[in-house]
Amino acid sequence: MSHHDNHKDDHEFGDLHHTLSKSTTRSTLVALLILTIVTVIASRIDLGSSWNFMLAMAIASVKALVVTMYFMGLKFDHIENRAIFYSSVLFILTFIILTATDIFTRHSDWQVGTRDVFLAQKSGSGPNIKRPWEASPEILAHGKKLYDINCAVCHGAEGKGDGPGSGLPIKPRNFHDAVAWKNIRRGSDLNTMLLKGIAPYMPAYAQLGSTDRWGLSHYVLSFGPAPVVEDGKSLAAVGIVDTTKDDGGAGGAPKQRQIPIDFAVKRYIQSAK
């Protein structure tokens, strides 16, 4: 069959209905098969999360273009419909380019500043508050600030487990209830829990400094009845080895490691699967 015949077959039904010629159908199927093979090969290549996403989107876009142009007949449709379609594609490409520009040029220590999302707040050792293992107005105020940013989204502003992100398979804890805690209800145990997290829905906040974790622990415990009293063993477990010193004898302790927010969110999502 000649090229002229193919062209004639592709248009012979005019506005009533379009039927692809056999040769065009075979060519389209072969193109989609090749793109599928490319997809499989690309999935075995790790270019980093951002570039992996961009490559996957590019391949998927080409496949979608082939399907819409030939199987859905856009190539043979009215020019008005093609203009609408191409305008939509242009809008999506503009959105992707602007988003990618923002992500790839963002400073390495950026952080999201909103109460309604999980925020892995970066910190060194926290503010210079003396004897942070002891509840005080100063450390409670610091704990409230951290709680509002990191915890209220799930546990609620009043600690009742009714925050906007509380719709999880396992309901966030109501801190006013003193029973059925996974750990002993005292500051040192909460400090450890913040450091390690509790799978699958309670993320770790190891990037917070020791004073930050003590502040959060004291503030959380302030919602309910009096907590269990600390002893030398429980304090030593979190690095408080000498209670006669303002820093608990941890003056030479190494500075807490910091992790990027993107990495923290990724680990949180992986732990929830």
For the domain spanning 137-272, the CATH number is 1.10.760.10
CA distances from 208 to 14, 216, 236 (A): 68, 10, 19
Residue spans of the domains in the chain: they are 3-104, 137-272
Q: What are phi and psi of 167, to 5 degrees?
A: -80, 55
Gyration radius of the chain's alpha carbons: 29
Q: Would the pLDDT of 21 be above 50?
A: yes
Model pLDDT, residue 72: 76
pTM: 0.49
Give 41's strand partners.
Answer: none
Contacts for 129 with CB less than 8 Å, ≥ 6 apart: 136, 138, 139, 142, 211, 215
Q: Output the six-digit token pair for 263.
A: 């990495």
The label of the residue with tokens 């970066």 reads 122
Whether the CA torsion 215, 221, 226, 227 is positive or negative: it is negative
| Helix, strand, coil percentages for the chain (3-state, nearest 5) | 50, 0, 50
Q: What digits encode the pLDDT tens for the residues 118-158?
A: 444 444 456 788 899 999 999 999 999 999 998 999 999 99
Model pLDDT, residue 111: 46
Which range has the worst mean pLDDT, 36-40, 63-67, 112-116, 138-142? Answer: 112-116
The label of the residue with tokens 């009533």 reads 16
Model pLDDT, residue 215: 93
Model pLDDT, residue 17: 57
% pLDDT > 90, the chain = 22
Question: How many Å apart are CA 260 and CA 72, to the nearest integer?
Answer: 44
Give 202's strand partners.
Answer: 198
